[in-house]
Each structure stands twice: as C-alpha cells, then as structure tokens.
Structure 1
C-alpha cells in the first residue's frame, strides 16, 4: 500500500473520487479493512449493487483492489494508498475544475463530520471530550513557512499510518479520529 497517492493531473481519478459515497467507502476501508460490497453497503446504508458499482469505479481509477481470499460474489476490497494529495496549482482548466470539485466534496464531508461530532460530543466519554479539539489560530507566515508547517504536520500524521495498513498495530481503545489540516491566507496576497 502506498503512503500517499498524488492525483495531480489525473482528471478522471479526481472526478471519480469527488462523490460522497466513494469518499465514505475509502474512509470505511481505512477504518475496518477489507470489506465486500455487501458489508460496505450495510455500513453506509447502500444497496449491495450500488456499492459494487462504486467499488468498481474506485478500482478502475486505482483507489481500491480486490483483497486476497475472495470467492464468487463475496470479494473483499482493500485500499491501494493511505491517502491522496493534489498539487496546489493544477495545470489546465480541466485539472483545476476537477480538483475544485474533489476538494469541495472532501471539505463538505469533513465539515459535516465535524458538525456531527459537535452535536453529539456531550454523550461521548469524558476522555474523548477532553482529547478532541477544534482549534483556531492566526499565524503570520510566509508561503514557504506555511509549506514547511504543512509538511511537518503531514509527517507527524504519517507516523500513525502503519495502523491503517495493519489493524493489529492499533492499541486497545484506539478509535478512528478525523484529522483535518487547513492552512490558508485570510486575504488574497498580492501577486509578486
């Protein structure tokens, strides 16, 4: 399994992934490991045929592959990469539009999950209420410092990537935790 797959330039893959159900499938496979279309459908309230179609599209674009041990209609699927990235400045208009669509879908999903956590957090165990955070900072950084900070945080996140590849490495009590990193200027900087 690759660490992070670079989708820059792959318009078809970006468009294929820019669907809430497909993003949910990738997240589910990362959380629970290989699953069949029927199993994934149960988790996501989707019919097996619909889930099978989404999985085939994800497979066609290299996001999932069949896992070993499948037989007949009971074929589990697994991830091909721990995560994905898109170059900040895609080349063509077509790439920009595909990237914009994918990023908007990812943001909608992530912020929806954050809103769901905020609405339900009072019923979570106290340890999780204390551990979770919604932090808002304003930092004064150059573009280079912002890129360096991004890479340092990504490197820190990646130290836990082995737990996605190998669920046996997850310590007792480990839960899937949504980690979002947003770094952007508050106003559009002038062009050099």
Structure 2
C-alpha cells in the first residue's frame, strides 16, 4: 500500500463517487491489497472492461485508487490508494440524502451478503463476532477516542491486508465499524 493508511474524503463530490454499487463492489475486490487490471476487476464485478475503466478513472480523480507499475509495461493494474477510507464530518454534512442513502444502502447490502454467504456455507468452524452495543451517549471527544481505539486495534494487523503475509491458517475476514449519531 502507499504510505497513507487512511484516506479522508473532505469533498461531498468524492462521496458521490463511492455511492455507486459497482464502485462499492470494486472497493471490496481491491481490498486486502489486491491489484487488478480493469479487465480482471470487470470480470469480478460483472461489467464490461470499458465500463470498469470509467469507474476506475472516476475513483482515481479523488485519490481512491491508483495505478501500479506492471512487470511487462503492457498491463495497467490498479489498487486502493489507502487501506481505509474515512468521510470527514464536513463532507458528511454536505451529502444530499439520496447520496447518503445510496452509500449506506450499498454498504448494508455488502454486510448482508457477507452474513448470508457465511450462513449458507454452514461451516461449524466459521467464527464470526457480531457485536451490537446499541445506543451509547458519548461526547465528541469520547467518540473520537473510541474511533482511535478501534483504529489502533486494527493497526496491529496492518500486514494482514496482503494474503502473502498472512499465516497459513488465516482466513479472509470482513471487518466493519460503524459509529453513527442517532440524534
């Protein structure tokens, strides 16, 4: 990955770029250090390579994805420009409701798909941790501290985005963290 561990989006227009189902799926496909050409990404996402190239260029304009040098110079592979993406408070405030709903709806579909696939595998050795705390009353400072604690805990596994650096018995896991204001 690049030196940036977290990309913070500060412009509401950048968030619009992510509020598209194919682009959300592309984030999943490129997650974990994957490097893919537009053709490979298109195949995984079920669209044409030219459509995928369009989506990749749109995401590149906001620094979400970046090109990677290829071995032979003919391929044009892509990767995520950061390991995680955060939306700044200012950018969140500028998002129209339909864009926010599209972004969150796509995220919820991804979580639902992951849980459904796990249930359908019906593997007694699958280990899932699902924690729902419910509502907590936190100050802005406490909210920031909680986000830092989670980020620090995950940073201990930074090298695990690359399947080649994972232990032989490691399995790919999806990690989701939501900390949303309710009132």
C-alpha contact (below 8 Å) 2:66/2:79 kept by paired residues: yes
Runs of 5+ unmatched residues, structure 1: none
Aligned partner (choices 65, 68, 73) of residue 71 of structure 1: 73
CA contact (8 A) 1:110 1:180 kept: no
- Aligned partner of 1:5 in structure 2 is 7
Q: Does the alignment pair 1:30 with 2:28?
A: no
- Tell me which of 166, 171, 175 is aligned to 1:175: 171
Q: Give the match for residue 127 of structure 1.
A: 125
Q: 1: distance between equivalents of 2:149 and 2:32? A: 24
Give the TM-score normalised by structure 1: 0.78
Cα deviations by residue, 1:105-150 (Å, 9 ceiling, x for unpaired): 442233212322443414242221xx21332223644313333222
Does structure 2 retain, via aligned residues, the 8 Å contact 1:4–1:85? yes
8 Å CA contact 2:19, 2:106 repeated in 1: no
Q: In the alignment, what sits opposite 1:159?
A: 156
Aligned residues: 178
| Runs of 5+ unmatched residues, structure 2 | none
1:115 to 109, 112, 121: 112
Contact 2:33 2:79 in 1 (8 A): no
Q: Deviations over 1:128-185 (max 9, x none)?
A: 1xx2133222364431333322210121122222222x43212224333222222345
Judging changes above 3 Å, is the alpha-carbon distance between structure 1 residues 158 and 105 closer, same or farther for their aligned structure 2 residues? farther
TM-score (norm 2): 0.82
